[in-house]
Amino acid sequence: MADEFKQITNFDRLIHEPSRLAIMAVLSACENADFTFLLNATGLSKGNLSSHLSKLRDAGYVNITKGFKGNYPHTTCALTRGGRRAFDAYRKQYLALARRLKK
């Protein structure tokens, strides 16, 4: 059992944080999502969402595209190829641990 708990320390800490995990999960299910959709899907405040997206962007996990839709600012976010790989690896590691603990 101790080995299973040691594996938790190997989780990607950037993704493991609950708010960023929620963002990554939402973005993994779609090609891209706009800022408002992410606000509603995660329940985060605008400032928190923006801060977490910046951390994910800086890590190379998320692309952020800013533009305009009509006269209004419009921000779209998408996982990068590396972000999808990182989230998939995180998910597999998490599920493997859950299966081992269930035994």
Q: 86: domain CATH number?
A: 1.10.10.10
Residue 22: per-residue pLDDT: 98
Average pLDDT, the chain: 93
Give the residues across from 97 on adjacent strands.
none
Q: 2 lies in a domain?
A: no
Q: 23 lies in a domain?
A: yes
Q: 1 lies in a domain?
A: no
Residue 101: per-residue pLDDT: 79
Q: 6 lies in a domain?
A: no
Residue 4: per-residue pLDDT: 63
Answering whether pTM is above 0.85, one says yes
